A = this chain, B = another copy of it.
Amino acid sequence: MRASQFFFSTLRDTPSDAEVISHQLMLRAGLIRRLASGLYTWMPLGLRVLQKVENIVREEMNASHALELKMPVTQPAELWQESGRYQAYGPELLRFKDRHDRPFVLGPTHEEVITDIARETLKSYKQLPVNFYQIQTKFRDEIRPRFGVMRSREFLMKDAYSFHTTRESLAETYQVMYDTYSRIFTRLGLNFRAVQADTGSIGGFASHEFHVLADSGEDDIVFSNLSSFAANIEKAEAISTGERPAASVALTLVDTPNQKTIDEVSQFLNVTKDKTVKTLIVHGIADETGKHTFVALALRGDHTLNDIKAEKIDEVASPLTFASDEEIKALGLSIGYIGVHGLPIPLFVDRAAAVLADFVAGANAENQHATGVNWDRDAQITRIVDIRNVVEGDPSPDGQGTLTIKRGIEVGHIFQLGQKYSEALNCKVLGEDGKPLVVTMGCYGIGVTRVVAAAIEQNYDDSGILWPQAIAPFTVAIVAMNPAKSPRAVAASEELYAELTALGLDVLLDDRNERPGVKFADLELIGIPHRVVIGERGLDAGTFEYRGRRDSEARELTKDELFALLKA
């Protein structure tokens, strides 16, 4: 591509409303333009990247015998009513009516549509397993779209759905997709991790997320330093360690006026936070009369509650709902001074809190805390549970090594769905025994637009983007120095452009009528991996000035050296 025939719209300044680096750089490099909140146009430069990601995803899905199709963006609401998600999905599901007043949705995902197709076209076990996928526009009406294409409303997603007669067959295809995703993210040149994820309220059999590692990631992902264990923080089990020591001091009430938080109390009483216990009151499930009940959750003061784990306690309402100030007062408790002894409600204690002795907790009385609290003697545990987030250094749940926590950006998710949708939509095939059976499903997603932003979050410097080669908008840029005065440099740049293009490389010949400094700054901002500058001096010496985008300085290469490097 000649730059003079392309369209660049780089910005020197960082747009003020862009919070994260990928959003800033995508706007500055002119990859995208904002149309409205959460809606972006992919400009020619950005679309080249997006299409490269799309093609790698397509090639690998095809290689794994998934079959591409394309479902409509607009979907009839009836199917969502059949699955029950028309009510359950919440306001992210954009609903509208057509000119005949019939209700539709803009598809945030396509389980309902694919299951409808499957129930009409799949007749026999002989047709299974089959794995359909599409790369299609999705719409989610985010309450607060942000981070550019990282959390936009309209985005491109690869979503696949597989159909099976048995869970074993599902597990096989699931493994194929796990491997396919690993190949995809490897080819994309990204540093990623596959981690176990919670199967959540859908209740499938297994689930993995694929995360691109980046400090700016919104998710915490957890690894063992010795084994292959990896999970997201929602899923990672916190193992109980050690035995509870015997009580050694008496329970004492102390005045702690206006000391409500763990930080305040531990400082005021001069104890470390890991010797304190905090108590949270949440909604329990309704009783026989339909009235709210309440339960208490106790954690070590330095630990944080894991909502997903808490929701799994049978007695706890889902979604997790904290008691309001009024509800807490109605229970006779004092906000900021809730403790574990004398509680009028069931008490679920985290494993780490349950092995403490002689600890500090609220006194269940205004402006007072208790020291020397001990379980059994002073407070009754309803059940010991795992409800905290693991922290760095915790033992790995597989018993091997300790845990490390890193930040990740979720770019893929694979899920053994089971029969949630096939049951709701009555999707059956004839089994080998001639009897109809409800099919078992898997689903597999990749956020194609999000991959582009995640790649930048992982690969940038002060000058701009550092694209992995496989998805760079152009692989090589060629710049002739002083084109107006050096016809030789122009001719040599044209020749090199033709030769490298013939090799199948994506070459940008920067023939714009701009100063070298402007061109270099643009090429660095845009993140082209290889830059070749052609000038009189090099032509005399028979060399090209080469600089890799990650190199600290340029070097002179002979033509053979240059070609060897670019072919590699």
Interfacial residues, chain A to chain B (CB-CB below 8 A): 5-7, 9, 30, 33, 35-36, 39-44, 46-47, 50, 65, 67-76, 91-92, 94, 96, 98-99, 104, 106, 113, 116-117, 120-121, 127, 130, 132, 137, 139, 141, 143, 153-154
How many copies of this chain sit in the oligomeric assembly?
2
Residues in chain B near residue A113, CB distance under 8 A = 35, 41
A6 to B113, CA, bound (A): 20
Interface pairs A-B: 5 shortest CB-CB: A96-B96, A42-B70, A44-B67, A36-B76, A39-B72
A30 to B143, CA, bound (A): 39
Contact yes or no, B67 A42, CB < 8 A = no
A319: min CB distance to chain B, Å:
19
Q: What residue in chain B is nearest A36 (Cβ atoms)?
A: B76
A154 to B137, CA, bound (A): 12
Residues in chain B near residue A6, CB distance under 8 A = 67
Contact of A72 among B41, B70, B92, B94 (CB under 8 A): B41
A131: min CB distance to chain B, Å:
10
Contact yes or no, B121 A74, CB < 8 A = no
A540: min CB distance to chain B, Å:
33
Residues in chain B near residue A69, CB distance under 8 A = 41-44, 46-47
A50: min CB distance to chain B, Å:
7
A342: min CB distance to chain B, Å:
45
Contact yes or no, A50 B70, CB < 8 A = yes
A6 to B66, CA, bound (A): 9
A74 to B138, CA, bound (A): 11
A327: min CB distance to chain B, Å:
29
Contact yes or no, A154 B5, CB < 8 A = no
A227 to B111, CA, bound (A): 56
Residues in chain B near residue A132, CB distance under 8 A = 7, 44
Contact of A33 among B46, B73, B121, B130 (CB under 8 A): B121
A68, A99, A117, A130, most chain B CB atoms within 10 A: A99
Residues in chain B near residue A65, CB distance under 8 A = 5
Contact yes or no, B68 A130, CB < 8 A = no
A96 to B105, CA, bound (A): 11
Contact yes or no, B106 A99, CB < 8 A = no
Known contacts A121-B33, A137-B137; is-contact A70 B47 (Cβ 8 Å): yes
Contact of A153 among B44, B74, B137 (CB under 8 A): B74
A12 to B354, CA, bound (A): 68
Contact yes or no, A35 B70, CB < 8 A = no
Contact yes or no, B75 A35, CB < 8 A = yes
A99 to B38, CA, bound (A): 13
Residues in chain B near residue A36, CB distance under 8 A = 75-76, 104
Contact yes or no, A116 B154, CB < 8 A = no
A421: min CB distance to chain B, Å:
16
28 pairs, CB–CB < 8 Å, chain A vs chain B: A7-B67, A7-B132, A9-B121, A35-B71, A35-B72, A35-B75, A35-B76, A35-B116, A36-B76, A39-B72, A39-B74, A39-B75, A40-B72, A41-B72, A41-B117, A42-B69, A43-B69, A43-B121, A44-B67, A72-B154, A73-B73, A73-B137, A73-B139, A74-B139, A74-B154, A94-B98, A94-B99, A106-B106
Q: What residue in chain B is nearest A133 (Cβ atoms)?
A: B44
Residues in chain B near residue A75, CB distance under 8 A = 35-36, 39
Residues in chain B near residue A47, CB distance under 8 A = 68-70
Residues in chain B near residue A9, CB distance under 8 A = 121
Residues in chain B near residue A121, CB distance under 8 A = 7, 9, 30, 33, 43
A156: min CB distance to chain B, Å:
9
Residues in chain B near residue A91, CB distance under 8 A = 99
Known contacts A98-B94, A99-B91; is-contact A41 B70 (Cβ 8 Å): yes
A110: min CB distance to chain B, Å:
9
A7 to B33, CA, bound (A): 39
A493 to B19, CA, bound (A): 59
Contact of A130 among B7, B42, B70 (CB under 8 A): B7
Residues in chain B near residue A127, CB distance under 8 A = 7
Since A7-B67, A33-B121, A43-B117 are in contact, a sample of 16 more A-B pairs with Cβ atoms closer than 8 Å, ordered by chain A residue number, is A6-B67, A35-B71, A35-B72, A35-B113, A36-B104, A39-B76, A43-B69, A44-B67, A44-B68, A73-B73, A73-B139, A91-B99, A94-B98, A98-B141, A99-B141, A99-B143
A153 to B94, CA, bound (A): 18
A35 to B121, CA, bound (A): 13
Q: What residue in chain B is nearest A114 (Cβ atoms)?
A: B41
A96 to B97, CA, bound (A): 8
Q: What residue in chain B is nearest A51 (Cβ atoms)?
A: B68
Residues in chain B near residue A40, CB distance under 8 A = 72
Residues in chain B near residue A7, CB distance under 8 A = 67, 121, 127, 130, 132
